Structure 1
Amino acid sequence: MDFLSDFLTRFLDKLQSPTLGFLIGGMVVAAVNSRLQIPDAIYKFIVFMLLIKVGLSGGIAIRNANLAEMLLPALFAAIVGILIVFIARNTLARLPKVKTVDAIATGGLFGAVSGSTLAAGLTMLESEGMQYEAWAAALYPFMDIPALVTAIVLASIYTGKQKSLSQQESLSKQESLSKQESLSKQPVAAGGYPSEQEYPTTRQEYLSQQRGTVDTRVKIWPIVKDSLQGSALSALLLGLALGILTQPESVYESFFNPLFRGLLSILMLVMGMEAWARIGELRKVAQWYAVYAVVAPLLHGLIGFGLGMVAHYTTGFSPGGVVILSVIAASSSDISGPPTLRAGIPKANPSAYIGSSTAVGTPIALAVGIPLFIGLAQTLMGGG
């Protein structure tokens, strides 16, 4: 009982944070049909500033870090990203009125990482005084890229198989008609059957001759390249590179760090407004997406938390680092993921995967997931 009461107290305290307050405020503003608008250019600039700051802090830490300590958390991040896609493929895709390609795309978006959710998690960790490895933010691409690649590969394999089956059915009908026509025209050999020399083609030979080979191979590098060129990941990697190769401590402390929380508050306001607007899109698809979007962030985050605990007891990964791994696992990409999936899985319905992510998944990850994982870490590992 002491464990439960301690956890609930910590959890309720996190719900009163200003970060979540701005998110809820944005949803309220949108719900009452306010004309308040934040220009898209300002939104993109804020995301860029936040991720540059996160990248700089990570790069500065990596410069002085033991890279061997990163190996196990990075491996776990990649495993979680891939696993999330397979979970969606084998759960969401089996539910009524859910198309398989839509489910795979949804899994890819939930497996990829939200830079804004990561920024919110880092801010809440700092407000709690929880220590974490600054390089932990660099786990972002280790989860993001494998998730997007896995989703696009699975979707390509599925659509290739469906195309192949469709071609086989079509060719089977053509073959049947062709044989019937040939039987009426071919010369008859002794015994009353068509001459084998005149009609030698078996069904398998005919199909192989007519349909050719369906190419289901998926090129991985273009997918990785698109992910790396995405605005969010590019900003984070740029910050990492500058932090590692230069000495940006002075500009970091005087400019990026002081602005971080204020910019994040505005970003949460925008995300709250966007989340409410996306609820309408969610009504266009099966209600199972809403159920999935409520459960998935918490389930994925707990998987990340469990693997983070393994790294904690194995390599000394900090409680704050465990929370970061959990937060990026619970998040769903809001910037780089959607355009990557639109290009990679064009047959998927964006209303399904973007609507479920932005309208439900992101608010759940922010309002419930981050406080939940911080509370668990503080209760189980005494981190703060």
Structure 2
Amino acid sequence: MNSSLILSNILNPPVLFFFLGMLAILLKSDLEIPQPLPKLFSLYLLLAIGFKGGYELQQSGVNPQIALTILAAVLMACVVPIYSFFILRTKLDTYNAAAIAATYGSISAVTFITAQSFLKLLSIPSGGHMVAALALMESPAIVVGIVLVRVFAEKKGEEKFSWNEVLREAFLNGSVFLLIGSVIIGILTGEKGWQKLSPFTQDIFYGVLAFFLLDMGMVAARRIKDLSKTGSFLISFSVFMPVANAIVGIIIAKLIGMTPGNALLFAVLSASASYIAVPAAMRMSVPEANPSLYVSMALALTFPFNIIIGIPLYMNIIKAIGIS
């Protein structure tokens, strides 16, 4: 693998702030970000990428290639949790296997943003429609995870279960709602809306991302202790499953004719794991699952692996198989 790609990704300022956050916890610094702010940073990032994606989608229009890409994204969000579940089921009970599978079937918006930043450093273009793919990949994995529990879990008397609540959590949870809504607003307002909001959604974007990743580094460092509870199987899963999912995504990207930039974003979406929306949904829908497993795996291992090693690795694979 080209070490210069890894170096250029690591020396990206927001990524360095992630390491700074980890270092603050490991060295027991008293650095702290007040709790309301990380939530605000998260909401801002979702709004900004959604609005920009909607604007770019409005500019480019929807053609068969874009429709095919979005369809492939939804398909991956449905298929990844299914085969992940059967792999996990060899070592775990149904509830934990389904919750972790749903986590890895969904996506990390911040990993996606980091990949966009990486492409910008390399001057490789990507399409705004990839944000629409991002928005549509979050919820299907939640629904598939719940279905897996309903099909494979042992019945324990009459259990109260509401599909309305599950679907509401899957499609109307805050992050999905804001992201999809921002895409729609970007489409509706077009060029005029972009001119008005670009100082907010673009000029300060990477500063907010740096603060968000600083906080994520601190949270990830705190979660490292939880990894001792997961065992070697789940630690290996946290690293190797993203690579396997990315390779599947890259093969699909090659088959449907994506450009290198779009192929990388698709690979990252396929490889990332949710540590916000899906854990919130799983806590409500699958209370039998242990949150310390799926949250610590996604946040303390898969997230840093993808932003440090995964993104450059996937770019090298894309180059190796000749996507151009």
How far has the Cα of 1:221 moved from its partner? 5.0
For the 8 Å contact 2:259–2:323, the answer to whether it is kept is no
Residue 231 of structure 2 corresponds to residue 286 of structure 1: yes
Q: Within 2, Cα distance between the matches of 1:89 and 1:339?
A: 19
Instruction: Output one character per residue of 1:32-82: Cα deviation in whole Å (capped at 9) or x when no partner.
Output: 111111122111111111111111111112223124322211221122222
Aligned ranges 1:195-344 → 2 under 5 Å: 220-247=163-190, 248-312=193-257, 317-344=258-285
Give 1:146's aligned residue: 140
Q: Do the aligned partners of 1:30 and 1:273 also contact (CA within 8 Å) in 2?
A: yes
* TM-score (structure 2 length as normaliser): 0.91
In structure 2, what is the Cα distance between the partners aligned to 1:309 and 1:215?
Answer: 45
Say if 2:140 and 2:170, in contact at 8 Å, map to a contact too: no
Identity across aligned pairs (percent)? 24
Classify 1:13/1:116 alpha carbon distance in 2 versus 1 (closer, same or farther; 3 Å).
closer
| CA distance in 2 between partners of 1:119 and 1:9 (Å) | 20
> Which whole-Å deviations, capped at 9, do the CAs of 1:145-194 have from their partners, x for residues lacking one?
111110111012222xx126xx7xxxxxxxxxxxxxxxxxxxxxxxxxxx
Match of 2:113 among 112, 116, 119: 119
Instruction: Say whether residues 1:45 and 2:37 are aligned partners.
Output: no
Match of 1:205 in 2: none
Q: Work out whether residues 58 and 240 of structure 1, in 8 Å CA contact, stay in contact via their aligned partners in 2.
A: yes
**CA distance change for structure 1 residues 362 and 79 in 2, over 3 Å: closer, same or farther?**
same
Partner residue, 2:52? 57
Equivalents in 2 of 1:302, 1:22: separation in Å? 28
> 1:64-75 to 2 correspondence within 5 Å?
64=59, 65-75=61-71
Alignment deviations for residues 192-211 of structure 1 (CA, whole Å, 9 cap, x no partner): xxxxxxxxxxxxxxxxxxxx
Q: Is the 8 A contact 1:50 1:264 kept in 2?
A: yes
Separation of aligned partners in 2, 1:219 and 1:326: 34
CA distance 1:381–1:68, change in 2 (3 Å): same
Instruction: Compute the displacement of 1:20 (Å).
Output: 2.4
SS at match of 1:266: helix
Pick closer, same or farther for the CA change 1:255–1:367 going to 2, 3 Å.
same
> Does the aligned pair in 2 maintain the 1:108–1:147 contact within 8 Å?
yes
Secondary structure in 2 matching 1:246: helix
Counterpart pick for 1:31 among 26, 32, 43: 26
What is the aligned residue count? Answer: 321
Q: Is the 8 A contact 1:231 1:335 kept in 2?
A: no
- Whether the 8 Å CA contact 1:305–1:323 is kept in 2: the answer is yes
Gaps of 5+ in 1: 168-213
Equivalent-residue separation in structure 1 for 2:301 and 2:124 (angstroms): 27
State TM-score, norm by structure 1. 0.78
Task: Map residues 95-134 of structure 1 onto 2, 5 A cutoff.
Answer: 95=91, 98-134=92-128
What is the deviation of 1:102?
0.6
Partner residue, 1:17: 12
Q: Measure how far apart 1:141 and its partner are.
A: 3.1
1:91 aligned onto 2:87: yes
8 Å CA contact 2:21, 2:216 repeated in 1: yes
**Map of 2:155 onto structure 1:** 163
3-state SS of paired residue (2:210): helix
- Amino acid corresponding to residue 110 of structure 1 in structure 2: Y
Please say if 1:345 is aligned against 2:286: yes
Deviations, residues 332-354 of structure 1 (Å, cap 9, x unaligned): 11221111111111111101111
The amino acid that maps onto 1:133 is G
Query: Highest Rg: 1 or 2?
Result: 1
Structure 1: distance between partners of 2:35 and 2:69:
34
Cα shift readout 1:239-266 (whole Å, capped 9, x = no counterpart):
1111111231113322210111111111
The separation in 1 between residues aligned to 2:85 and 2:143, in whole angstroms, is 14
Equivalent pair of 1:80/1:111 in contact (CA under 8 Å): yes
CA RMSD of aligned residues (A): 2.2
Contact 1:297 1:361 (C-alpha < 8 Å) held by counterparts: yes
Could you say which residue in structure 1 is the equivalent of 2:129? 135
Query: How far does the alpha carbon of each residue in 1:346-365 deviate from its partner, in whole angstroms, 9 at most, with x for none?
Result: 11110111111111111111
Instruction: Give the aligned residue type for 1:289.
Output: L
Q: Please identify, of 222-231 and 352-361, the stretch whose mean Cα deviation from structure 2 is larger.
A: 222-231
78, 82, 93: which one aligns with 1:82? 78
